[in-house]
Amino acid sequence: MAFDLDLIKSTYANMPAKVAAARQALGRPLTLTEKILYSHLWDNASPKAFARAADYVDFAPDRVAMQDATAQMALLQFMQAGRPKVAVPSTVHCDHLITAKTGANEDLKVANSESKEVYDFLASVSNKYGIGFWKPGAGIIHQVVLENYAFPGGMMIGTDSHTVNAGGLGMIAIGVGGADACDVMAGLPWELKWPKLIGIKLTGKLSGWAAPKDVILKVAGILTVKGGTGAIVEYFGEGATSMSCTGKGTICNMGAEIGATTSTFGYDESMERYLRSTNRADIADLANGVKEHLTADPEVYANPEKYFDEVIEINLNELEPHLNGPFTPDLATPISKMKEAAAANGWPTRVEVGLIGSCTNSSYEDISRAVSLAKQVSEKNLKTKAEYMITPGSEQVRYTIERDGFLEVFDQIGAKVFTNACGPCIGMWDRTGAEKQEKNTIVHSFNRNFAKRADGNPNTYAFVASPELVTALAIAGDLTFNPLTDTLTNEKGEQVKLDPPTGDELPVKGFAVEDAGYQAPAADGSGVQVMVDPQSARLQLLDPFTAWEGNNLTGLKLLIKVKGKCTTDHISMAGPWLKFRGHLDNISNNLLIGAINIFNEKPNEVKNQLTGEYGAVPAVQRAYKAAGLGSVVVGDENYGEGSSREHAAMEPRHLGVRAVLVKSFARIHETNLKKQGMLALTFANKEDYNKIQESDNIDIIGLTEFAPGKSLHMILNHADGSSDTIEVNHSYNDQQIEWFKAGGALNIIRKNIA
């Protein structure tokens, strides 16, 4: 039985008329993306031809999903909104706070003890406000959503950038900050700039060693980490329909790594099979009744260049397995070229660890194809050369693969099975020896491989690949091993070749689980008390941010001028810092500690203009705050790439940073800054980045006439008495300017409810 069946029935009942109205308004056939967007306009607004990458539009998402690390701040904000219950179906998933170290049982026991305060808080808030709660060990948010909540043609938002995973089941699913989630849970519209559209046509069919993961690894190499910014990617073609639903999910999941707003696929038989296999035959039947509206109009896929802003074609018959990395998910290398690339770049080729699973690749199909290779270790008298670790995506997947004997096979090759949680993928990996910071290589089927992300070691070279290729490289222990052509020497001294992976799309005997880990909320939560200890180091009730003073901002100090890539991991690290995600002041002690200061090429060392001495970024900013001084952060291209974590926006706001000026922003981070009442600005002339000097005092002029489309100016007052005036742009609309003036979007919600 499906969750929220009445909501899905209503969505499908209204969809044909809404799609027809949109088609008439635009006077042309529609893409799938457009059908879903137009059928989710706020308050059933009349459709019109919105300008792509220009018009801000209000939407009514069907649901909200939150993982435990981001849910804390999202729910702390929601508690301030004054609502008795969430306005749309919402869930919390406890998957981020479990450290992978010893193995599933022991690690889960430790997490339940260490994070009991946080879990109790999230459970009680969920119970009070009508939110579904998935307990620690239940699984990773995106896998659990795919198994239980995602449905073709729906729209959801989630406080995690990989919410986009649900596109594998034909949704428009978008990662957001907690403030956006708070709006939707409070019954308010959700705003998004109408996206550009990228169409990716898949021809042919995957076979042999090629996997769905290789599709998105190839796409990442084409589009780079920012090529999808402001766009929704829609996949189509015979290659798309020949692929499994969970394979589609993998592709959509890593769409976050090209900066895409989201990615999606049209409804097809693979999605129907997945719905029926996960006990949602009722949704499959409903979807079949409106299936013409759950994919693009035929004319679109026949002539995609007429309807998409960009079209890419990939022939799956010719697609080669890829390894992407190190240190960025868009550095794509076909496996046949890895030996050459590794030699040219000096990458360490001995593979120390292979890790499979995570929200990106933890389906039954992924595990079954990996186990087909693990079986060959004994069959071909081989020995696994690298450590091998598995993170199941959900308790349902874990229970089913144990029933089907997969875990026993993995155990025979010395594999370690971690808890059904994020673990190493988001830095929650207590890896033995990582503190030595030795140069080494790991391969994994995760989605991101930024420096220090998995184990905290800046010298760990992490490469992203399919679970099948990860398994083969772990067996070989060599990054340059090409399983399509190369042989291995077995224990008898014989040369043997690995057979291509095989596996079942779905379990032949069906999925099974004893306790999925779900806790339903109280029917009436009015009597539930949510307690936060004022002395807690993990949780802290929020105080409203102060409103804009009404004047131009003058005398701001330069806090840091960041050099190069600055992801949300650099701005607000995960790993051991996850424990403070519910305590804004404590987690603010990691503000920008991973960013490189261009003036000394060092992380976490900036000049304190009050003393002339150098100190840690958070300490220097706290000194400015204590002196009543604001500051400015300056960054490079695609600033805020990566996670949806709004802590990267709330921390500078909390410590007194007034503006972030960069060459370009990643979408979610720019929105998060706006929501928190910050100034998110971009250089009108990117070369002006070079005019910023280390001891600058900065004035921001034009705020008293702050208006959409109207530039502001910055006066850079240099230490030698000279100055430069530069033009800076912004993308604020009227509503977002009101957020700035009020001191944050939440202040407006609170005022309207009071």
- The residues annotated with a catalytic role in the active site are 95-96, 160, 448, 643, 645
What are the tokens at 482? 């090409």
Task: Report H helices in 51-200.
Answer: 68-79, 104-114, 116-129, 141-148, 178-185
Closest C-alpha to 311, from 123, 31, 47, 585: 31
Nearest to 250 by CA among 201, 200, 213: 213
**SS3 at position 633:** strand
Whether the CB-CB separation of 385 and 475 falls below 8 Å is answered with: yes
| CA 401 to centroid of chain Cα atoms | 26
Strand-pair category, 712-717 with 697-701: antiparallel
Q: Token match 């059928």: residue?
A: 39
Report residue 134: phi and psi, to 5°. -105, 120
CA-to-CA distance for 273 and 354, rounded, in angstroms? Answer: 31
Calculate Rg over the CA atoms of the chain: 25
Token code pair at residue 317: 């018959």
Here the tokens at position 238 are 């015979």
Looking at the DSSP bridge assignments, the partners of residue 725 are 715
Strands 310-315 and 440-444 come out as unpaired
H/E stretch holding 285 reads helix 281-289
Under DSSP, is residue 416 helix (H, G, I), strand (E, B) or coil?
A: strand
What gap in Å lies between CA 111 and CA 324, rounded to an integer?
32
Cα distances (angstroms) measured from residue 283 to each of 3, 58, 173, 302, 452: 10, 27, 18, 29, 42
Residues 6+ apart with CB under 8 A from 135: 94, 119, 123, 517, 518, 519
Long-range Cβ contacts of 290-295 (<8 Å, 24+ apart): 290/12, 290/15, 290/16, 290/153, 291/267, 293/15, 293/16, 293/19, 293/35, 293/39, 293/153, 294/32, 294/35, 294/152, 294/153, 294/170, 294/266, 294/267, 295/32, 295/236, 295/266, 295/267, 295/268
3-state helix, strand, coil in the chain (%, to 5): 40, 20, 40
Integer angstrom CA distances of residue 94 from 350, 385, 423: 35, 33, 12
| Structure-token pair, residue 637 | 């291209």
Vertex 303: Cα angle to 300 and 306 (nearest 5): 80
